[in-house]
Amino acid sequence: MPSEKHKWYIDHTSPGTAHIYGIENYITSFQTEYQQVEIADTEIFGRILFLDGKVQSAESDEYIYHEALVHPAMLMHPAPRRVLVIGGGEGATLREALKYQTIEHLIMVDLDRQVVEHCREYLKSWHQGSFDDRRVTIHYMDARAYLEQETATFDVIISDVPEPVEEGPALKLFTTQYFKLIKDRLSVNGLFALQAGDTCLPFIESHSAINNTLNKVMPFAMPYRAFVPSYNTEWGFILSAPFETALPAAETFDRLVEERKLNLQYFDGETARAMFAVPKDMRKHLNQETRVIDDDNLISIY
């Protein structure tokens, strides 16, 4: 039976399913111009950031999500110097990218200043001071507007924005037009990684549409996933590039991690082997997908 000592937070993962979290203490709750923001302490997963009623990041396992998102792309680039992070308000994506000694300039573009400011104050174990790193520049603006006006290119671009929820602020950050802007802002050896939603059937619809859309733009696009306990699902990501390439072997990833002196809790060669080994039912669904997300044909998770 559920404990009576908790308040219960319900994350509606679909119209017919939900995850519930026992809340020990609410840290903050407020509405910004763009979204509802809540930070709370839970018994099982520690501190959690919720945006618009959905879990974004949990203290106990955020390292799984952020290492999976950041390191495949960063390791595949020979020497990432200029990196663009889109979203990532908790600062943990910055934290992981800044582990690379070659980084000269890391630009973060986030729409919601209030989220970043509250994460800076209340999620210190996530960002670990990354917002104040001298290599970091933060722009509080719409990511598409930034990409449209920016002419410089980047070695790695990482998109860490919420999944495309109807009326949500990131709905147009998964379209053909957006991915073409990304492609134009990548350097010669540039790589792009993004979080791409739930990969478990029957909740894979958004992920498969995002993957098919990106495949129409990028010559190389490879889906992968990692189980995130606080999400209670296999969460999806996509690694892509504007040129044909191949995924390094597990031994190559291990060598690169060692050469670059990375201190990682989750990601290594064996983990990469598992993450990119997409199961048969998921492959079938991805291969049968025909939908393309367009500014005039938006697709939301519900």
Please, what is the end-to-end C-alpha distance for the chain in angstroms? 30
Written as one string, the DSSP assignment of the chain is: ---TTSEEEEEEEETTEEEEEEEEEEEEEEE-SS-EEEEEEETTTEEEEEETTEEEEETTTHHHHHHHHHHHHHHHSSS--EEEEEE-TTSHHHHHHTT-TT--EEEEEES-HHHHHHHHHH-HHHHTTGGG-TTEEEEES-HHHHHHH----EEEEEEE-----TT-TTTTSSSHHHHHHHHHTEEEEEEEEEEEEE-STTS-HHHHHHHHHHHTT-SEEEEEEEEETTTTEEEEEEEEESS---PPPHHHHHHHHHHTT---SS-SHHHHHHHT---HHHHHHHHH-----BTTB-----
- Active-site annotation holder among 61, 110, 112, 160: 160
CB 122 within 8 A of CB 47: yes
CB 300 within 8 A of CB 206: yes
Active site residue 160: yes
Residue whose C-alpha is closest to residue 28's, from 11, 3, 47, 8: 47
Q: Which residues form the catalytic set? A: 160
